[in-house]
Amino acid sequence: MEEQSRSVTRELSPRLSRMWSLAKVGLRRGWPFAAGIVAAFLGVLLYSNLYPDPLPLTDQQVDQIVVDAMASATPPPSYSSQVYQVILPSMVLIRTTGQNEQGEDGNGVGSGVIINADAAILTSLHVVAGATEIEIFYADGTETTAVIAAAEPENDIAVLTPAQPPEVIVPAVMGNPNAMRVGDEAYAVGNPLGLAGSMSAGVISGFDRTLPISDELELSGLIQFDTAVNPGNSGGPLLNRRGEVIGIVTALANPSEQNFFIGIGFAVPITTAAGAAGMPRY
């Protein structure tokens, strides 16, 4: 029995030796891999400690971020400011010397708009009627004189030819009043009470209005609007939201003896007014 045990031991010893040898080789070859795993784990643990996940935003923080973003946003320009920039180079201020509508000597002020490449100026006839001298002040600061080239008393429209055009001629763009509706935006740019380059905004109030001017004359087919105008606006343009001329301001309603705006103004449609300058009536 004892002899058998020794025999078994002798047989196992070589096997155990080979297994131990293989194990030592495996350990020598595998320890870099194991070390790499440990190092990676330690690296992840260190990163997590140094750069923890951000805390979730509170409702108040989200609201503040939205408020800050809206405050920093630049709003688009308003229609009115765009209209003003479009029409301003075409505007003129008109000063007159001579007799007024009552036959008295004096000075007058009105507005006009350049309508073609020859720098012809469209205005209201009553602004320049009876004037012995007409002075034109352009938007670029230069000035000149002018004469009446054409007139349509039945529409209170006059066309002026300046002695000297501006250095850069910018004719206004003609619009289509027939495309307008009651309630559409309407802008007036002119020189009310001599305040040069003033702008006001309102809406179209009605179409095809008739306004008695005197015992012999009444204007018909007028555009009614509530855009504020006062003496000095006469002859200036009434504009749509694209800055196109849809009419020439001609009068304001005066139920009293006071000559100030009460919310009702009138303009000759540009489809009629432009005909005095030889442009097609459309």
Catalytically annotated residues: 126, 156, 234
For residue 31, the number of C-alpha atoms closer than 13 Å in the C-beta half-sphere is: 5
Q: Which residue has the tokens 């309102």?
A: 202
DSSP state of 53: P
Contact 121, 111 (CB under 8 A): no
DSSP 105-140: EEEEEEEEEE-STT--EEEEHHHHTTEEEEEEEETT
Distance CA 187, CA 199 (A): 7
Adjacent-strand bridge partners of 203: 185
Please answer whether residues 205 and 261 qualify as being in contact, where contact means their C-beta atoms are separated by less than 8 angstroms.
no
CB 249 within 8 A of CB 124: yes
Structure tokens, 261: 């705006």
